[in-house]
Amino acid sequence: MIIGITATALTFIALILSIVAYYLYDRRREASLLTFARVAFYTASILIFFQAGLLMYGILTHHFEWIYVFSYSSRDLSLFYLISTFWAGQEGTFLLWLALGALYGFWIIKTRKEEEPLVMSFMLMVLAFITIILVRKNPFEYVWQVNPASFPPGVVPPDGAGLNPLLQDPWMVIHPPILFAGYSATMIPFAFAMYALIKRNYDTWVKPVLPFAVFAGLLLGAGIILGGYWSYVTLGWGGFWGWDPVENSSLVPWLFSLALIHGLLIQQRQGGMKKTNILLALLTFVFVLYGSFLTRSGILTDFSVHSFGKSELSGYLIGLVLFFFALSFLAYLFRINEVKYQPVYTDFATRESFLNFGILVLVLFGIFIFIGTSWPLISGVFKSKAESFATEYYNYLAGPGAILAALLIALAPILRWSTSSWDKMRSVALHGAVSLIFGVVVYFLGIRQFIPLVIMILALFLILINGQITIKMLRKKNYAFGGYLVHVGVGLMLMGIVTSTGYDRKEKVMLPQNTPQKVFGYRITYLGQRPGSDGKNRVMLDVDGHEEMAKFYWSDYSQAWMVGPSVENKWIQDLYISPIQIIPADQTLPQGERLTLIKEKKIPYKNFFLYFKGYDMNAHQMGGEDIVLKAIIDVYNENGKLIGEIRPGLQMHRNRKAVEPVTFVDGKSKVLLKSINVENRSIEIVISDGDAAKDNPMVGKEVLAAEVSVKPFINLLWLGTILMILGFLVALYYRFERR
Amino acid sequence: MRSKYIIGGIIIIGFTVWAAISFNASLTPYVSIREAKQAHKTVQVKGERLDNGYFDITTKKFTFKIRGEDGEVLTVVYDGAKPGNFDQASHVVCVGKYENGIFHAKELLVKCPSKYQPEGNNS
């Protein structure tokens, strides 16, 4: 579509003009240059918003001749998921990044006149680079331009390829935009750091950048949390975090952004940490770019469960990372020696040294996750064969990391700035005592391992200390409590993570249809499958009397069975049921004898004779499309005496058959109607071996194999995440107000 | 002043040493199936999928066979669910340990032929 492609190309030109004009204005300070730079930026923004609007319009009105619309959407999607199609593919996410970047540009122009020229030119440089990628891979290209072999020119495909069913989830509608808002927000501290380096303003950049750093930290954190929650309630593997490269590549920049926030707090307070803060701001952004390279280039296909295709864009993505890496580090190396070293005061028991340790822990943790995630690349370069390693590596790291972090978060608030003193230690003696008693209690409740136990104790300790401060400040209407509230949230999250992942119980169970089973004290009954209105089969369950639902359906799009768990949130724990497989009833007979019965003929079976009389068609007609067909079989003994009648049934359920087995006259074996042959007037039945079938509830029934797990106190984790986000919002409000 | 640097140094060294130890413990080298059968430790193998696998109702385990590039066939038992797209996979990557003639997998990674992905889908 020529208008869309032209708009992309013009955006690039407008961005370049704006960058140059901003740069020249910064040198010469001619007002006309500033006006020109802004007009060029506004033009670029309008073009970007136009493209975003155009793409959304194309998706909503099914313009399948556009490659992006064809590749990611289809007619059967609801409005909700049509909207999320916008960020289902790379081009859409890049466009989203551009649109958010443009918004941030307006924000900078409005609020930061002083730093505007250079900050804007560096932000726009990032946007220009992304625009190049979009020119190369444009969402508005016609399908026949991209793939002339499959699409005749000028013919609009009747329907699109569809949206990955995993993305058809309410959480996926908001998770990507928030995460991308976070990614693109890291541009702002980066641009400020470049400004600081070029202008030699190693001190004055701190105050204006701090709120933006908090903003980036908030969005990255919220995006990561939403992603984890999505994974927990949608994917059905039972967890919220799997140390996958995709997850790690957003976690690393988040950890660095948190380190940056703490570093800026120190510098704002007493001037030290100048070099470190600039480095942290640059690294946060470089890690964002590196992460998008790792996850989009397809380089980790052999090491990640996420299915990335090989991308023709890897060259551009490598260029993006290398360009900004080189740019920031050259600038850093050129200037850093002239930064006057100002030691961070000083003694051990001060607030700032504990903040320093905290930064150290965050950075170390980030670096080791970075190394682990990149290991396939690193080992591929240095060794003959790429190596991989188990994700336990990260868990080993997380334990001691959490202990250190919790200890620091607990103690830092009771230390004074710049004066080394433990004098407030006594005031938290009670908190310490309560935490130790709590430790004894949880020890007897079952947390016996050393590291989890220590984390629990320290987590409560930090919650009590930071919580008390939060409440005190709130009473005084002092809105500087955001950080403390974030820490309370972190403490709760640590507790929830320990209990729900370290002390969860799981079991694989077989649930025969309509047969209650006791699992972890819950009475769970598998009720059968029900087709969903969206064409996806639901697995109906009954848990202690109320109906629950999981998903289990075949996806043509993914060419796979898709599983969605049933998650029942109870106050103290989640009951998590994830289907593994549904075993049809005819496959759950142990050893059976297959018999073909022809209508009105006596067929011998053991010392019986079976006589197939006919069908009982009007057995019951269950609602609408369900039909139950039963075969009437008379059973004679060896003397030719009629001793009983059996009616095995076959249930037709749309296009799915389900068998209704019956018990044979011996009272032990199960009889099952396997198939019907109308032409030969015959049926095929299976009679199971009597003794093996006798006490087994699964025989002849459809069986749901499922993994059932209970996750104790996972609500602490969710509560913690909510408090953390709230704390960030308060901090953001406070930082912007105070400026 | 000095104590701060000592503590900082201890954190850095301690964390690094701990990371190196944990890392070594969790390394799983990519090996051929023949090597895997002699390895006696956790390794990673990749092989062509030979069947659709079988989920045993009584042991609740998933069993299937793969053939490596060296032609060796390996029976893999996985203590978990059959991956949703298993039947469509061309190759399977298994992380685990070979014991008594069976490869006990802790992790499965299913490689699907890319033709199922629509053009340009990289998300």
Instruction: Output the CA–CA distances (angstroms, integers) from residue B35 to A302, B28, B46, B102, in the order listed.
Output: 20, 13, 12, 14
Residues A143 and A260 in one domain: no
User: How far apart are alpha carbons A244 and B72 in whole angstroms?
Assistant: 30
- The pLDDT assigned to B116 comes to 33
Burial A511-531 (b: 16+ CB within 10 A, else e): bbbeeebebeebebbbbbbee
User: How far apart are alpha carbons A715 and A700 in whole angstroms?
Assistant: 40
Query: A71, B119: Cβ pair inside 8 Å?
Result: yes
Residues A259 and A179 in one domain: yes
Would you call the peptide bond into A346 cis, given omega within 30 degrees of 0 as the criterion? yes
Confidence at A605, pLDDT banded by 50, 70, 90: confident
The angle, 0 to 180 degrees and rounded to 10, between the axes of the packed helices A31-60 and A116-136 is 40
Q: Which residues in chain B have Cβ-Cβ distances shorter than 8 Å to A703?
A: 57
B42 contact A CB<8A = yes
The angle, 0 to 180 degrees and rounded to 10, between the axes of the packed helices A206-230 and A170-185 is 160
Distance from CA of B100 to the nearest CA of A (A): 23
pLDDT digits (tens, 9 = 90+) for A639-650: 888 888 888 888
Please give the residue of chain A at the shortest CA–CA distance from B29: A387
Q: Which residues in chain A have Cβ-Cβ distances shorter than 8 Å to B57?
A: 510, 583, 588, 698, 703, 705
B7 contact A CB<8A = yes
Query: B119, A147: Cβ pair inside 8 Å?
Result: yes
Q: Which residues in chain B have Cβ-Cβ distances shorter than 8 Å to A364?
A: 11-12, 15-16
Burial A621-654 (b: 16+ CB within 10 A, else e): eeeeeeebbbbebebbeeeeeeeeebbbbbbebe
- The pLDDT assigned to A642 comes to 87
User: How far apart are alpha carbons A216 and A715 in whole angstroms?
Assistant: 26
Q: Between A622 and A248, whose confidence is greater? A: A248
Reading the block at residue A697, the tokens are 């509830």
> What pTM was computed for the model?
0.87
| Average of per-residue pLDDT across A316-323 | 90
User: How far apart are alpha carbons A617 and A628 in whole angstroms?
Assistant: 7
Confidence at A694, pLDDT banded by 50, 70, 90: low
Choice among A350-359, A658-667, A728-737 with the minimum mean pLDDT: A658-667
Distance from CA of A416 to the nearest CA of B (A): 15
- Nearest Cα neighbor of A130 from A330, A299, A288 is A288
Which helix (H) or strand (E) is A598 found in, with range?
A: strand A592-598
Q: Using an 8 Å Cβ cutoff, are A132 and A47 in contact?
A: no
Residues A248 and A142 in one domain: no
Give the number of C-alpha atoms closer than 13 A to the C-alpha of residue A471, restricted to the C-beta side.
6
* Phi, psi angles (nearest 5°) of residue B17: -60, -45
Reading the block at residue A12, the tokens are 């690039």
- The pLDDT assigned to A304 comes to 53
Under 8 Å CB-to-CB from A723, ≥6 apart: which residues?
A485, A486, A488, A489, A492
Q: Using an 8 Å Cβ cutoff, are B92 and A280 in contact?
A: no
The answer to the question of residue A391 being in a domain is no
* Strand order through the sheet with A522-531: A517-519, A522-531, A537-543, A546-555, A560-564
B13 contact A CB<8A = no
Give the number of C-alpha atoms closer than 13 A to the C-alpha of residue A341, restricted to the C-beta side.
2
Please give the residue of chain A at the shortest CA–CA distance from B18: A397
Which 47-76 residues of chain B touch chain A by CB within 8 A? 55, 57, 60
Distance from CA of B110 to the nearest CA of A (A): 8
- The pLDDT assigned to A236 comes to 78
Under 8 Å CB-to-CB from A481, ≥6 apart: which residues?
A469, A470, A473, A474, A727, A730
Q: Which of A312, A346, A380 is the last residue of a domain?
A: A346
User: How far apart are alpha carbons A409 and A543 in whole angstroms?
Assistant: 41
Give the number of C-alpha atoms closer than 13 A to the C-alpha of residue B64, restricted to the C-beta side.
28
Query: Which one-letter DSSP state was computed for residue B93?
Result: E
Q: Which residues in chain B have Cβ-Cβ distances shorter than 8 Å to A146?
A: 119-120
B38 contact A CB<8A = no
Query: B84, A562: Cβ pair inside 8 Å?
Result: yes
Confidence at A303, pLDDT banded by 50, 70, 90: low
Q: Which of A325, A346, A367 is the last residue of a domain?
A: A346
Distance from CA of B42 to the nearest CA of A (A): 9
Q: Cα Rg for chain A, rounded, in angstroms?
A: 32
- The pLDDT assigned to A307 comes to 43
Please state, rounded to an integer, the average pLDDT across all residues of chain A: 88
Query: B120, A353: Cβ pair inside 8 Å?
Result: no
- The pLDDT assigned to A669 comes to 79
Query: B60, A510: Cβ pair inside 8 Å?
Result: yes
pLDDT tens, N- to C-terminus, chain B (123 residues)? 578 888 889 999 999 999 999 988 888 777 888 888 888 888 888 888 988 887 776 677 888 999 988 888 999 999 877 777 787 778 888 888 898 889 999 888 877 654 333 333 333
| Average of per-residue pLDDT across A519-548 | 88
Query: B123, A90: Cβ pair inside 8 Å?
Result: yes
Query: A309, B3: Cβ pair inside 8 Å?
Result: no
Which residue has tokens 């081009």? A91
Given CATH 2.40.50.140, say whether it is the number of domain B31-116: yes
Beta bridge partners of A687: A593, A671
User: How far apart are alpha carbons A602 and A393 in whole angstroms?
Assistant: 67
- The pLDDT assigned to A308 comes to 47
Q: Which of A321, A346, A371 is the last residue of a domain?
A: A346
Domain membership of residue A210 as a residue range: 166-346
Please give the residue of chain A at the shortest CA–CA distance from B55: A581
User: How far apart are alpha carbons A540 and A527 in whole angstroms?
Assistant: 5
Q: Which of A89, A390, A562 has its CB closest to that of B121?
A: A89
Reading the block at residue A314, the tokens are 């890897």
pLDDT digits (tens, 9 = 90+) for A19-66: 999 999 999 999 999 999 999 999 999 999 999 999 999 999 999 999
Sort A687 into a burial class: Cβ within 10 Å, 0-12 / 13-18 / 19+.
buried
Please give the residue of chain A at the shortest CA–CA distance from B86: A560
Residues A249 and A340 in one domain: yes
Choice among A82-96, A224-238, A326-340, A688-702 with the minimum mean pLDDT: A688-702
| Average of per-residue pLDDT across A344-368 | 89
Q: Which residues in chain A have Cβ-Cβ distances shorter than 8 Å to B86?
A: 560
- The pLDDT assigned to A110 comes to 94
- The pLDDT assigned to A191 comes to 97
Confidence at A254, pLDDT banded by 50, 70, 90: very high
Would the pLDDT of A638 be above 50? yes
Residues A134 and A4 in one domain: yes
The residues spanned by each domain of chain B are: 1-28, 31-116
Q: Which residues in chain B have Cβ-Cβ distances shorter than 8 Å to A393?
A: 22-23, 25-26
Sort A446 into a burial class: Cβ within 10 Å, 0-12 / 13-18 / 19+.
exposed
If one counts the domains in chain A, the total is: 3
Would the pLDDT of A563 be above 70? yes
| Average of per-residue pLDDT across A250-262 | 97
ipTM over 0.90: no
User: How far apart are alpha carbons A277 and A197 in whole angstroms?
Assistant: 11
SS3 A710: strand
Q: Which residues in chain A have Cβ-Cβ distances shorter than 8 Å to B112?
A: 307, 559
Under 8 Å CB-to-CB from B99, ≥6 apart: which residues?
none
Q: What angle do CA A8, A12, A16 make, to 5 degrees?
A: 165
Residues A147 and A175 in one domain: no
